[in-house]
Structure 1
């Protein structure tokens, strides 16, 4: 389909008419590759043959460029004349220079015979891709071109206008007086619209013409392929005609064109003129780029026009060419001082890193990719560096980095690196930093035996049987004492160091002891606070969280953050722990660290359990499993499982809790603190489902483990409270009282939540009068700790005690408060238990509501709202949040309410304030 070629055909028609009149011409039909020169030649040939011309045609190619008289032989064969190599010569054919001259004379004679045929019938000699014609043929043809001035012959040479293409031919042709030059240019935008109208219709042509012109530059070949792709049944996303047409243009053009296209595809955004020239073999980049732009292959800025062009060029490379080009590109960028991440990108594409410089570039680039939140790219850099390094110690260090980077994304996938790391550790190729990291990951995956062997090797490097206080080994031992106590050894007192160095180092005289793992020391301190319940633990944990920047380049920041959150939770700072969980989860999500995001979400679930927000606990624990599949949790699976089991049990979904209990967990989990949480959760479920003996066994197992580990003061799990409740249920109040006494005798740093739970159980073994005193104190402790579920249980016990003492009005008030809090927690079994024994409380309810107590009329609206919410069981902080005031304002209002109603404390508030609760809320 010829578009915008009317002028060319008109001039060719004039040349044809002149030839018929005996004035032959030589036509040089030139233009960029795939501009439609051959199509124009075919149209002219059809036109000439219709006018009586005889067509003699030859097609040249790069492969036949060195074959002597190859082009002329094609013409002779087409004309029915003998070829030059077959021309008869008398006697034996001479060889050497004499033989060459004989062949030249034969060629001249045959060419003359060819031209003489025009006397009987006009002759059209057409040579396509004449830039590839052999020099011998061109020489003969040019010598006879002078005879064309009086012959009925038209010679059409289709030639490329590439700057370095066939310069001798051009120089000689320009001297010919009978030469006509016709340039075939690319289509304009209006030409593209006309072209597309015939292919796609007028509407699509008008809509697509501008974009298609920009993508093809007006090249008819590329334009046709793009139109076919657009009209393909599966749509343009799956059609590949454009890429094939582009490759056709590149391979048909000058070799420099293909070389530059490949260099552009490989260097991409790293392309510079010098880099392109070096990678493409020293070509003139500017000249070749101008020629490719004129052919529609490149845009004006020197880049590919079509977004799929680069991929098409890369797919055309063989694997060997692909690797070689990218390897050379990486070397060129490194020599030019480019950023290591750019060098590494090309090394990864090459699939090899030859030389120490390449390995270093990959490792540095991996650090950058980690900071840029691209863990997959970082892992790819480290994997190539590990495969390419020839130094065993360096390889071990790289492999440790790779294991740590993979752990952030998926511990199960990263575990494949642990076995070679253990082997490297046995061979002595790991430093302390890598060894400590290996121990942590082995323990996470439940491989305690291998972790023990690595620990033994670390310990062998010390002078004594135990670690010196303040050393990095001591930090590791303290962390082990909390996380995996069976593997920990006590920290000794011998050695030069007598105090813990700072985060970066400690100065002793003139020597600075640098620490390879600064965050390991903080993790050790927090672990020690958790295991021993040291004073000031919450303040220390909050300081660590404020200092923390969750960086995946530091191996112990995530562990430190988790320990800090647990410290806040064990210190009854649940609200603060919840806030930090949300912050850290968002930070981990922003930094593409799903492992730690899942861990922080699991801690948030535990916080929700402690707060009595049971539905939220289930939601967060399940979200943790969504972020990190169960197979990737290792021994840490005990944390989200424990929250799920406790929350679903207290909600009343016992079958669901039983399914989570039946989940297969690693045996090594029971040798870590995660196992204690799981055992406690299982005991709570057994107690709720009336398997009291099994529950007692679980709680006592917790206690035995903690005593064996030396962590029972007070220990991570308050097992005595659960065991005491089981003993009460089994009718053994004396044993329950003994367990509660032991729990209350723990150090003063024990949490108020645990003390409140213990006092509630102690009250169950006492007379009603004494029990009310204990329950009142327990309620205050649990309210300060923010545990609403335990508050509901205390309120229920207080209701029963008041009823036993005959104080029915207070019993009803406590019952309603307990029921409200239980419902707010979604603790349906507890609420049902309350309702099942509420007959005596509910009968006087309406009368009490209709007869307000004296003094109600003296309360202001604000005081009545605060008092109503207090009757419902809300804490001061919750009341402040609902009424948009400060907690101190709530306290002031309650003080005035107590004075006006002549009562002493919250528990004495009259229950007839309850009807105002809906308006207050």
Structure 2
């Protein structure tokens, strides 16, 4: 028998439990008056059943009741009357001899309270205690009591109304996979007992407790995190707050709410979660850990199959956990998941790694058998050792192919690396290594070259696989700067293939395109092709003929009309599938220079979609470069800035170092065009940051470096640094001339240099370059090249002759079908300046207003500003734009652009390292200026800039 000394009870600690405590106290008052009964307190694990008993004991002992208590446990559940004996402090073992023995003579035990067996002796013992005064009996966790004691409590309940005794029992009531014992009092009339239920704390009560324990000035998300990690269960919440208290004592309370137990400095929370799982039984604990391990994958049926549990009870258990807030769903029908990462971490704590792998393997196989997506299957296999089954390989490769098509290269690489763990045939291993090597090399990682080199000898020597792998390896080497090694392995492949076969010709075409990364190699290849064309033209295939057209176009030897006619003849002859990508790549580049943009778009679209599985190929890279050139020429800056290569570099928060150099490989042309796009859209600081990242790692002998020099020259000229800009333009021109590229269709360096020379007062030199540019533009004969050359020549010439040349430039550009709007804006500004200088201010203002309008439609803020400055010079009053895209600040445009792409505010905050309030403020301002009210209206409101261009 255990007495309890009257001590003060901290009722403030029993949050939202006072009502139950008062009702139990009312039962105690009745018992003190001589009418006893049973009070049953039920609730899930951790809701405070034991704490409530302590409060009842403390309160009623102060009111004169003697307290006896027992705490049931699984260890004593096999001993008969163990719980009652502990409660009444009775000696059951060994049985006493003689007439007062506990055991009833004969066969079987008499459980009647009015007989002579142990049950009756215990009842008489209880009555003797009650005779001494009001008695409070407390039995904690009665669901763990032995069956004899449970039956005794039920029989006693029918007689307690005659005694000054209150029997308070606590019972765990929670839905588990293993059905619990029936409710103890299910057979009793409701008049003989009172029933009380404890629930988790409400959000308000939990929030008050968190503030009391951790302080009022908590960072955002901490209170919500505490509630989601505990479901408001007091046991879990108090344990978590103990751990968080120690964490905040070290960190000062700053930072985000922890999402893993590794961030906590103690393990009270994890220990309490483990105890709760143990209380729920092995089947429920297994299901909970399976749910936590699979996280967002798996409906009820899958969870039941993997965990080996009953599907019906599994579904009801998940519903029960969802009601308590410990399990959540993203939406109706969505898979269940543990409510918070910290809770998930605690649930999985101590679960063997082998068992976790088994869960993923079983889930993967079940998903595959059910016909789920290959990605869902493959994600489960990533953390599993080799399965050794065909279905696993098929799922991994299909998932990788899907990820590549969707532009998700990182998961694609993960799936391919995992596939290499499976037993594969020699050819299939070579295929997987090729695909993986292409992804790695395309991302600038040196390991890609190693994977491709390993794959080459595994492919069939006479099959197309060996050609694709070797070309991919050559492309990776050339883009990394080792052009000679790339050309050597392609020559070796040609020697192993039948002479003049389609595969040999394709290897030669790939080598020709890769030679452009090295000046001497390019000139040597072109010299060879020109020699063959002069002496044995019939030996040239379509790819070689197209390359010759390209060479002559850039050398200023043929017109755009002649080039297009020759390419049309080539296109009328069906190309071998192995050669087709190389023919298309060259044709698209020349057509882009010829300003045949509709045809360029069609060829690029067909080429990239048809040959994308090849991944790393110089023809595909050439098509991508042409697409970027065409976008820049037409002023489609949003399209250009949304290119994955550009996005990857712009969004990298830590530029510099070898990794940065690798990321720039093979993308310098596209990034150079991005520098100009940033400049034109008013993002000059970003343009300089990008240029500064390219400069230290540029491929100095590649054709791409010439594009960068020209872009940096434009950037420097825009800053007014004409001497440095002139140096870049002239270096670009020297290098282009060394490559026999004289035409302004590629890099109009003479126009840029002439503008700088004029600004520096060296008009004679400027005029010489402008006239040479015009002469070469006449040879090519397209509106863009001629209009640009006339504009610059007019600006440099000045006077009446300069005005006439500027007017001719505008007239020529107006004849172009489409795609020359950027050049037309520049020509209109130049003409407006000439008219202002000539005193024709009225005509000048008309021309300049047209220029400002066109520039605004393009989103070219720099040209809008230039047109407005010229308008001011002409005497016009310029009204600043207060609405529309042009009115957005740089920050507003970038944030609105990211939101238009589907990024959440939280993602934008993380990407741009901004506070959430800052993002919200900028979006509100952008909505007002754009005249919209909903996020879904952003893409159309931003126009061409919404496609990643801000």
TM-score by length of 2: 0.58
Q: Using the TM superposition, give the Cα deviation of residue 628 of structure 1 relative to its aligned residue in structure 2, in angstroms.
A: 10
Q: Using the TM superposition, give the Cα deviation of residue 425 of structure 1 relative to its aligned residue in structure 2, in angstroms.
A: 0.8
Match of 1:585 in 2: 640
For 1:467 and 1:319, locate their aligned partners in 2 and report how far apart those are by CA, in whole Å: 54
What secondary structure sits across from 1:459 in the alignment? helix
For 1:253 and 1:866, locate their aligned partners in 2 and report how far apart those are by CA, in whole Å: 84
Are 1:425 and 1:435, in contact at CA under 8 Å, matched by a contact in 2?
yes
Match of 1:29 in 2: 41
Segments of 5+ residues of structure 2 without an aligned counterpart are 1-12, 99-105, 111-115, 259-263, 547-573, 650-662, 755-765, 810-828, 855-869, 879-950
- Describe the shift of the 1:251–1:788 C-alpha distance in structure 2 as closer, same or farther (beyond 3 A): farther
Q: Find out whether 1:237 has 2:247 as its counterpart.
A: no
Specify which of 705, 716, 719 is matched with residue 638 of structure 1: 705
Specify which of 66, 71, 75 is matched with residue 53 of structure 1: 66
Are 1:28 and 1:182, in contact at CA under 8 Å, matched by a contact in 2?
yes
For 1:56 and 1:916, locate their aligned partners in 2 and report how far apart those are by CA, in whole Å: 94
For 1:214 and 1:607, locate their aligned partners in 2 and report how far apart those are by CA, in whole Å: 48
Q: Using the TM superposition, give the Cα deviation of residue 184 of structure 1 relative to its aligned residue in structure 2, in angstroms.
A: 3.8
- How do 1:144-223 and structure 2 match up within 5 A? 154-162=166-174, 170=182, 173-175=185-187, 180-186=192-198, 193=204, 200=211, 219-221=233-235
Q: Find out whether 1:604 has 2:637 as its counterpart.
A: no
Match of 1:40 in 2: 52
Q: Find out whether 1:422 has 2:433 as its counterpart.
A: no
What do the CA deviations read for 1:306-332 (whole angstroms, capped 9, x no partner)?
444664456535433433323322222
Q: Find out whether 1:716 has 2:741 as its counterpart.
A: yes
For 1:114 and 1:628, locate their aligned partners in 2 and report how far apart those are by CA, in whole Å: 95
Which one has a bigger Cα radius of gyration? 1
Match of 1:732 in 2: none
For 2:322 and 2:768, locate their aligned partners in 1 and report how far apart those are by CA, in whole Å: 92
Specify which of 434, 447, 456 is matched with residue 469 of structure 2: 434
- How do 1:316-715 and structure 2 match up within 5 A? 316=349, 317-348=351-382, 350=384, 355-388=389-422, 390-408=424-442, 410-411=443-444, 413=445, 415-428=446-459, 430-448=465-483, 450-452=485-487, 454-464=489-499, 466-468=500-502, 471-483=505-517, 486=521, 515=577, 519-523=581-585, 525=587, 538=594, 543-549=599-605, 553-555=612-614, 560=619, 563=622, 578-579=633-634, 582=637, 585-589=640-644, 594=649, 598-604=667-673, 623-624=690-691, 626=693, 630=697, 638-639=705-706, 642-643=709-710, 681=731, 703=738, 715=740
Q: Using the TM superposition, give the Cα deviation of residue 433 of structure 1 relative to its aligned residue in structure 2, in angstroms.
A: 2.2
Are 2:287 and 2:307, in contact at CA under 8 Å, matched by a contact in 1?
yes
Between 554-563 and 862-871, the greater mean CA deviation after superposition: 862-871
For 2:646 and 2:751, locate their aligned partners in 1 and report how far apart those are by CA, in whole Å: 40
Q: Using the TM superposition, give the Cα deviation of residue 717 of structure 1 relative to its aligned residue in structure 2, in angstroms.
A: 5.9
- How do 1:781-800 and structure 2 match up within 5 A? none
For 1:334 and 1:915, locate their aligned partners in 2 and report how far apart those are by CA, in whole Å: 67
Are 1:604 and 1:617, in contact at CA under 8 Å, matched by a contact in 2?
no
Q: Find out whether 1:868 has 2:930 as its counterpart.
A: no
Specify which of 289, 314, 327 is matched with residue 262 of structure 1: 289
Match of 1:297 in 2: 326
Q: Using the TM superposition, give the Cα deviation of residue 419 of structure 1 relative to its aligned residue in structure 2, in angstroms.
A: 1.0
Q: Using the TM superposition, give the Cα deviation of residue 396 of structure 1 relative to its aligned residue in structure 2, in angstroms.
A: 3.0
Are 1:30 and 1:181, in contact at CA under 8 Å, matched by a contact in 2?
no
What do the CA deviations read for 1:499-530 (whole angstroms, capped 9, x no partner)?
679x9xxxxxxxx9984785344225568x6x
Specify which of 92, 96, 118 is matched with residue 129 of structure 2: 118
For 2:209 and 2:588, locate their aligned partners in 1 and report how far apart those are by CA, in whole Å: 77
For 1:236 and 1:646, locate their aligned partners in 2 and report how far apart those are by CA, in whole Å: 45
Q: Using the TM superposition, give the Cα deviation of residue 333 of structure 1 relative to its aligned residue in structure 2, in angstroms.
A: 1.9
Specify which of 314, 333, 348 is matched with residue 285 of structure 1: 314
For 2:322 and 2:852, locate their aligned partners in 1 and report how far apart those are by CA, in whole Å: 71
What do the CA deviations read for 1:322-345 (whole angstroms, capped 9, x no partner)?
333233222222222112222233
For 1:568 and 1:28, locate their aligned partners in 2 and report how far apart those are by CA, in whole Å: 76
Are 2:490 and 2:508, in contact at CA under 8 Å, matched by a contact in 1?
no
RMSD (CA atoms): 6.5
- How do 1:902-913 and structure 2 match up within 5 A? none
Are 1:435 and 1:458, in contact at CA under 8 Å, matched by a contact in 2?
yes
Q: Using the TM superposition, give the Cα deviation of residue 440 of structure 1 relative to its aligned residue in structure 2, in angstroms.
A: 0.5
Are 1:30 and 1:159, in contact at CA under 8 Å, matched by a contact in 2?
yes
For 2:122 and 2:391, locate their aligned partners in 1 and report how far apart those are by CA, in whole Å: 63
For 1:863 and 1:591, locate their aligned partners in 2 and report how far apart those are by CA, in whole Å: 31
What secondary structure sits across from 1:435 in the alignment? helix
- Describe the shift of the 1:427–1:186 C-alpha distance in structure 2 as closer, same or farther (beyond 3 A): same
- Describe the shift of the 1:716–1:88 C-alpha distance in structure 2 as closer, same or farther (beyond 3 A): farther
- Describe the shift of the 1:163–1:110 C-alpha distance in structure 2 as closer, same or farther (beyond 3 A): farther
- Describe the shift of the 1:363–1:497 C-alpha distance in structure 2 as closer, same or farther (beyond 3 A): farther
Q: Using the TM superposition, give the Cα deviation of residue 383 of structure 1 relative to its aligned residue in structure 2, in angstroms.
A: 2.7
- Describe the shift of the 1:536–1:640 C-alpha distance in structure 2 as closer, same or farther (beyond 3 A): closer
Q: Using the TM superposition, give the Cα deviation of residue 193 of structure 1 relative to its aligned residue in structure 2, in angstroms.
A: 4.2
Are 1:26 and 1:178, in contact at CA under 8 Å, matched by a contact in 2?
no
What secondary structure sits across from 1:30 in the alignment? strand
For 1:757 and 1:172, locate their aligned partners in 2 and report how far apart those are by CA, in whole Å: 93
What secondary structure sits across from 2:498 in the alignment? coil
- Describe the shift of the 1:483–1:866 C-alpha distance in structure 2 as closer, same or farther (beyond 3 A): closer
Q: Using the TM superposition, give the Cα deviation of residue 444 of structure 1 relative to its aligned residue in structure 2, in angstroms.
A: 0.9
For 2:87 and 2:703, locate their aligned partners in 1 and report how far apart those are by CA, in whole Å: 83
For 2:274 and 2:683, locate their aligned partners in 1 and report how far apart those are by CA, in whole Å: 59
Are 1:246 and 1:297, in contact at CA under 8 Å, matched by a contact in 2?
no
- Describe the shift of the 1:255–1:325 C-alpha distance in structure 2 as closer, same or farther (beyond 3 A): same
- How do 1:736-885 and structure 2 match up within 5 A? 779=774, 868=835, 883=850
Q: Using the TM superposition, give the Cα deviation of residue 435 of structure 1 relative to its aligned residue in structure 2, in angstroms.
A: 2.5
For 2:700 and 2:775, locate their aligned partners in 1 and report how far apart those are by CA, in whole Å: 38
What do the CA deviations read for 1:818-858 (whole angstroms, capped 9, x no partner)?
9xx9xxxxxxxxxxxxxxxxxxxxxxxxxxxxxxxxxxxxx
Match of 1:9 in 2: 21
For 2:646 and 2:747, locate their aligned partners in 1 and report how far apart those are by CA, in whole Å: 36
- Describe the shift of the 1:432–1:777 C-alpha distance in structure 2 as closer, same or farther (beyond 3 A): closer
What do the CA deviations read for 1:667-719 (whole angstroms, capped 9, x no partner)?
xxxxxxxxxx9xx82885xxxxxxxxxxxxx89xx75xx6xxxxxxxx3368x
For 1:468 and 1:462, locate their aligned partners in 2 and report how far apart those are by CA, in whole Å: 9
Match of 1:68 in 2: 78
- Describe the shift of the 1:867–1:242 C-alpha distance in structure 2 as closer, same or farther (beyond 3 A): same
Are 1:469 and 1:500, in contact at CA under 8 Å, matched by a contact in 2?
no
Q: Using the TM superposition, give the Cα deviation of residue 235 of structure 1 relative to its aligned residue in structure 2, in angstroms.
A: 6.1
What do the CA deviations read for 1:132-170 (whole angstroms, capped 9, x no partner)?
334566567778878867766554432122356997953
Q: Find out whether 1:131 has 2:186 as its counterpart.
A: no
Are 2:290 and 2:307, in contact at CA under 8 Å, matched by a contact in 1?
yes
What secondary structure sits across from 1:261 in the alignment? helix
Segments of 5+ residues of structure 1 without an aligned counterpart are 91-97, 504-511, 530-534, 662-676, 685-697, 707-714, 719-748, 760-770, 800-808, 822-861, 888-913
Are 1:32 and 1:161, in contact at CA under 8 Å, matched by a contact in 2?
yes
TM-score by length of 1: 0.59
